[in-house]
Amino acid sequence: MNVEQQFEGIEELWSPRVIGRVNDQYIKVAKLHGQFTWHKHDDEDELFLVVKGRLKIQFEDGDVELGPGDFHVVPKGVMHNPVADQECWVMLIETVTTKHTGDVKSVLTKTIEQQLAS
């Protein structure tokens, strides 16, 4: 399974698609552009790996800038906000129970059922 090919047909931004599972972690891909929303996952780390474009992850104490092939793990409990000034393609690794926007409700929020069916 080719990672880049898994982005084919994704039109909706910020809408993760589950492409695989290893142990209790889902592998997902998503196209990002613009601002997401500040949130945290109390009990789960979240890995972002940039496939194409650039991603800024805003933290309360500063930003992390990622380009193609760069990854960053957002530790559990840490507030963060992904921002992409141009369209950015990311691969995500998250525990199967992780909620898209943590305990924050947003118009962007996708359930895991939506992520599995997308």
Using CB under 8 A, which residues numbered 36 to 55 contact its own copies?
44-47, 49
Half-sphere exposure (Cβ direction) of 25: Cα atoms closer than 13 Å: 11
Between 35 and 64, CB nearer to its own copies = 64
Nearer to its own copies, 25 or 114 (CB): 25
Compare residues 9 and 23 and give the one whose CB is closer to its own copies: 23
29 binds its own copies per the rule CB under 8 A: no
* Candidate ranges 10-18, 29-37, 69-77, 102-110; the one touching its own copies (CB under 8 A): 69-77
Q: Is residue 71 involved in binding its own copies (CB under 8 A)?
A: yes
80's CB contacts (< 8 A; 6+ apart) are 38, 39, 40, 57, 58, 59, 74
- Sign for the pseudo-dihedral over CA of 70, 73, 79, 82: positive
The answer to whether 108 and 14 are in contact (CB under 8 A) is yes
Q: Footprint of its own copies on this chain (CB under 8 A)? A: 1-4, 20-25, 27, 44-47, 49, 67, 69-73, 93-95
